[in-house]
Amino acid sequence: MILRFLGHSAFSLLSGSGHRVLIDPYLDGNPQAPVRADQLTADFIILSHAHGDHLGDTIGIAKRCGALVICVAELAGYLAAKGLKTHAMQIGGAHDFPFGRVKFTSAWHGSQTPDGHYAGLAAGILIWMDGVCVYHAGDTGLFYGMKLIGEMNRIDLFIVPIGDNYTMGSDDALKAVELVNPRVVIPMHYNTWPVIAADPEAFAAQVRSMGKECLVLQPGEEIRA
């Protein structure tokens, strides 16, 4: 599979079978986004929560592409009322999709749509695609349950926020890496605005000193996993 960083917390996954999956597609409001929303196509969109920097351009992309939006039930209800195709899930539940398996985990964070609607709980996302297990932690503070997630699943790619203020900062993210014990770490949710300024290379150096691989991806950069 091919994983591409689209800035902030947005990623695209392309499966070997050709399924196109977007996670948290916040593009047109993000000056660091490498593409505009109308340049992307998707078959599926997975959302960690409803804040504007995660819901992002979901409605436009999903309507144009007919993509299925996978998210917690309360947010799914909001999006279904706007005419989108949705698949409602909840934290702790997993489901098999044509591209692979998705399970939502807990995340310590809030969730509300940009126009003020209740959107259920914020989540982290586990995705199994082509034999690779990705843990996109969403927006979250550090929590000890990450150890359980790491023990029960062999995490290949751990995508973790480091920007502080709204989520974990780098020091807590290092502890998260220790708890999850993944193969590879990818930092996200930093430097989009001054309040979440962080040094991903300093974080990466600390991760590497723990004997783990860390990839600092530039917006638009992709890796084969």
For Ni ion, the binding residues (CB under 5 A) are: 51, 139
User: Is 139 an interacting residue with respect to Mn ion (CB under 5 A)?
Assistant: yes
- Under a CB-based contact definition with an 8 Å cutoff, are residues 3 and 12 in contact? yes
- Which of 13, 15, 48, 53 lies at the binding interface for Mn ion (CB under 5 A)? 53
3-state SS, residue 135 = strand
**Identity of the residue, 139 or 172, whose beta carbon is nearer to Ni ion in the bound complex:** 139
* Shortest reach from residue 49's CB to Ni ion, in Å: 6
Q: Which does 103 bind (CB under 5 to 8 A by kind): Ni ion, Mn ion, none?
A: none
**Identity of the residue, 100 or 138, whose beta carbon is nearer to Ni ion in the bound complex:** 138
Cα–Cα dist 75/119, whole Å? 5
**Identity of the residue, 4 or 51, whose beta carbon is nearer to Ni ion in the bound complex:** 51
The two beta strands, 20-23 and 44-46, are: parallel
Angstrom distances, CA of residue 120 to CA of 7, 39, 217: 25, 30, 30
Longest Cα–Cα distance of the chain, Å, equals 48
Total number of residues that touch Mn ion (CB under 5 A)? 2
Backbone phi, psi, residue 173, to 5°: -65, -35
**Identity of the residue, 139 or 164, whose beta carbon is nearer to Ni ion in the bound complex:** 139
* Shortest reach from residue 184's CB to Ni ion, in Å: 24
User: Is 164 an interacting residue with respect to Mn ion (CB under 5 A)?
Assistant: no
Q: Which does 24 bind (CB under 5 to 8 A by kind): Mn ion, Ni ion, none?
A: none
* Shortest reach from residue 50's CB to Mn ion, in Å: 10
Backbone phi, psi, residue 209, to 5°: -70, -15
3-state SS, residue 221 = coil
* Shortest reach from residue 2's CB to Ni ion, in Å: 26
* Shortest reach from residue 85's CB to Mn ion, in Å: 24
As a dihedral over the C-alpha atoms of residue 50, residue 157, residue 108, residue 169, rounded to 10 degrees, the angle is: -100
Cα–Cα dist 192/7, whole Å? 8
**Identity of the residue, 173 or 204, whose beta carbon is nearer to Ni ion in the bound complex:** 173
**Identity of the residue, 99 or 104, whose beta carbon is nearer to Mn ion in the bound complex:** 104
- Under a CB-based contact definition with an 8 Å cutoff, are residues 52 and 64 in contact? no
* Shortest reach from residue 224's CB to Mn ion, in Å: 27
Contacting residues toward Mn ion, per CB under 5 A: 53, 139
